[in-house]
Structure 1
Amino acid sequence: MATIKDIANAAGVSLATVSRVINNGPKVGDKTRERVKKIMVEMGYRPNANARALVTQKSASLGVVLAELLDPFFATLAHGIETVTRRHNVQILMSAGSIEKKTELKAIETLLEHRVEAMVVHSKALDDDTLIEFARQVPGFVLINRYIPEISNRCVWLDNVAGGRLMAEHMIRSGHKNIAVISSRYQIVDPIQRIDGIRQAFEEAGLSLPESSIEYATPDQEGGEKAIQNLLAKSIPFTGVLAYNDAMASGAMSMLQDHHIDIPGKVSIIGYDDVLLAKYCRPKLTTLRYPVEMMAAKAAELALQYASGQPPEDGVTFKYTPTIVKRESVLTI
């Protein structure tokens, strides 16, 4: 494999000149720059990203902190980021935060150790002040799926209150009055906001949502099964279920079918996220489309934009709104 010395010899220039070309530095004429680049291509030379970081104190990478790496939601989020980094020829350094304060902090600090200056962070456990401080330290620091007013133009976020309202309004318009909610047990803002939206829709319709009709569990299929099992054990009457996400909805559907409860004949259900799983449930799941891939691409573009010293105008925010996707799991009664 060709080295920087080989390129310098072939081009008849100094090592410093080749280094400047590699790092887009000044003091190199256009003709010389093009000649060196041409020779690099001909000799198959590829700059070492780690070595470049040592010289420039910067990394040609975008750091990403996700809650989980295997969850379909976060896989879709990662794919949205990857479409941007591929276009910009930037590598991804990815880490999991696991919705735990210490783990999220370690994930961000690890990226900083790699001199990452563009970073998309999904953080639910760290407090606002810590994230605001990181935004001051890291040029391209961007939050996804979280809103902090002090750094609002670095936040790409979803209106979860509106999402909760939408799913409740659709279930109520379909004629359902006895509606249960299965939600995430994690003490983060998303489930709180979605239930706030649900309560708003209930109040406007003159309905109540007693605490006994809300079950909390892990936001996965097993959690959905457990939540429905608890509702059935308490003999809570319901003809509709609003689920925190599609995974919980899928688990709930499985438990209901195990109890020979027809969907949507006896119980209608709405999920949230519109991950691929929703299309392959039986019946196909009515859900809220979370434009996570679009949001992730925007967050990646924004992080690279900040890192390059070109921030958006002051006062610009990046709020997204979910939309209802009607399939087969809701029956009008």
Structure 2
Amino acid sequence: MATIKDIANAAGVSLATVSRVINNGPKVGDATRARIKEIMKEMGYRPNANARALVTQRNPSLGVVLAELSDPFFATLAHGIESVARKKDIQVLLSSGSIQSKTEMKAIDTLMEHRCEAMVVHSKALSDDALIEYAKEIPGFILINRYIEQIANRCVWLDNYAGGCTIAKHLLALGHKKIAIISSQYQIDDPVLRTKGVEDELAAAGITIDRNAIELATPDQEGGEQAMQNLLTKGAEFTAVVAYNDAMAAGAMSMLLDHGISVPNQVSVIGFDDVILARYCRPKLTTLKYPIEMMGIKAAELALSLASNKQTDQTDETYKYTPTIVKRESVAIAGHQ
């Protein structure tokens, strides 16, 4: 791996000049600064966290990479992480990965450059191998909302498959047999596993979901509206709708009501996550509770513990969470709708 001396030699400058660039110090011209940064990038140089700490004397920080910053789900996750950092008087550095591999990688690399040895990462686009390598390099690297067997003790994750099974069991118990699914167009683990859980549980009851009754869209309210519009346009038959998340469920309910279809009197709708939106929908949304704030707290505690060597990395403990159903007003008994 390249050293600061290698960078200085390649750029034809002093070690002090390279050090100023690394630590965003003064007295370096823009052209020289840009050239040194380009050489650092070409040589794969990554500033040593401990060395920079001696220079900057900054407080320890906790890095966080989320998929989106505006989504209520990720805001809840961030709140859990921040509550731990606040109690420990630790700065939180937040970045977005946008479910794109290059963006996720850049976000993690940037946090490493800011000497984050404790990091909570929500990554859906990077490969398992890439994340395993980061876990080897970053002492307090914790992966949230994803499970990789090789670094199981670094993963805080939800059993999405079990969540799908729970939804199907609930609808079956209420007599629903014609079920539609509106899910995320991003073919990442979460929607795939939730849908598989629903389909497997229904199959065990002798029910197969009509392919015509499955729609994929963006995992937000607009996507929920569009997916429901497509289902109605195709004439799909269903008495209940399973939504990938609460935002899609809210959009779907809005579209149903726009078409004069009552929820749950004519069609039941169930979501996933139990974000604050679910409690303020009309009707209030039946959903599965995703304990994301609790998981964020656990992830932050683990990251900081590993980074400070208070916990061995050789533990066999796993951190799996299971979603539970929250019954409200958007689901009714089939035939009594």
TM-score by length of 1: 0.83
Deviation at 1:53, TM superposition (A): 2.1
User: Separation in 2 of the partners of 1:144 and 1:314?
Assistant: 17
Say whether the 8 Å CA contact 2:274–2:289 is kept in structure 1.
Answer: yes
Aligned with 2:208: secondary structure?
coil
2:230 — aligned with what? 230
Partner of 1:321: 322
Residue 200 (structure 1) shift: 1.4
Asked if 1 retains the 8 angstrom alpha-carbon contact of 2:59 and 2:91, the reply is no
Q: Does the 8 Å contact 1:164/1:193 carry over to 2?
A: yes
Counterpart-to-counterpart distance in 2, 1:211 and 1:149: 32
Q: Secondary structure at the match of 2:74?
A: helix
1:173 and 2:173 are equivalent in the alignment: yes
SS of match in other structure, 1:180: strand
Instruction: For 1:68-79, list aligned pairs within 5 A.
Output: 68-79=68-79
Contact 1:220 1:247 in 2 (8 A): yes
The percent of aligned pairs where both chains have the same amino acid is 65
Kindly provide the amino acid, as one letter, of the partner of residue 142 in structure 1. Answer: I
Q: Which amino acid aligns with 1:168?
A: A
Unaligned stretches of 5+ residues in structure 1: 1-49
Aligned-pair CA distance for 1:172: 1.4
- Give the structure-2-normalised TM-score: 0.82
Contact between 1:59 and 1:115, CA under 8 Å: does it hold in 2?
Answer: no
Aligned to 1:64: 64
- Is 1:94 matched with 2:89? no
Instruction: Within 5 Å, give how 1:271-282 maps onto structure 2.
Output: 271-282=271-282
Asked if the contact 2:52–2:115 (Cα under 8 Å) also holds between the matched residues in 1, the reply is no
When structure 1 is superposed on structure 2, of 232-241 and 310-319 the one drifting more is 310-319
Letter in 1 for 2:328: R
Given that 1:121 and 1:142 are in contact with CA atoms closer than 8 Å, whether structure 2 keeps it comes out as yes
Shift of 1:51: 11
Q: Structure 2: how far apart are the matches of 1:140 and 1:162?
A: 29
SS in 2 for 1:142: strand
Alignment partners' CA distance in 1, 2:56 and 2:311: 21
Equivalent pair of 1:253/1:263 in contact (CA under 8 Å):
yes
Report Cα offsets for 1:53-72 as digits up to 9, x if no partner.
24388861000000000100
Letter of the structure 2 residue corresponding to residue 330 of structure 1: V
1:304-319 alignment runs, 5 A limit: 304-312=304-312, 314-319=315-320
Q: Which runs of 4+ in 1 moved over 3 A?
A: 54-59
- Distance in 2 separating the partners of 1:115 and 1:57: 11
Q: How far 1:237 moved relative to its partner?
A: 0.4
Equivalent residue of 1:282, what SS?
Answer: coil
Deviations 1:135-171 (A, max 9, x none): 0000000000000000000000000000001111111
- State the aligned residue count: 284
For residues 92-171 of structure 1, the aligned pairs below 5 Å read 92-171=92-171
Contact 2:59 2:90 in 1 (8 A): no
| Separation (CA, whole Å) in 2 of partners of 1:157 and 1:52 | 32
Q: In terms of Rg, which structure is larger?
A: 1
- C-alpha distance in 2, partners of 1:157/1:59? 29
Distance apart, 1:245 and its partner CA:
0.1
Residue 211 of structure 1 aligns with an amino acid whose one-letter code is R
- Say yes or no: does 1:215 pair with 2:215: yes
2:256 is matched by which residue type in structure 1?
L
Distance 2:125 2:210 in 1: 28
Letter in 2 for 1:147: Y
Letter in 2 for 1:256: L
Partner of 2:255: 255
Q: Which amino acid aligns with 1:319?
A: K
SS at match of 1:125: coil
Q: In 2 relative to 1, CA 186–57 (structure 1 residues): closer, same or farther, beyond 3 Å? A: farther
CA RMSD of aligned residues (A): 1.6
The one-letter code of the counterpart of 1:76 is T
The 2-side partners of 1:229 and 1:68 are apart by 26
Taking a change above 3 Å as real, the CA distance of residues 58 and 305 of structure 1, as seen in their structure-2 partners, is farther
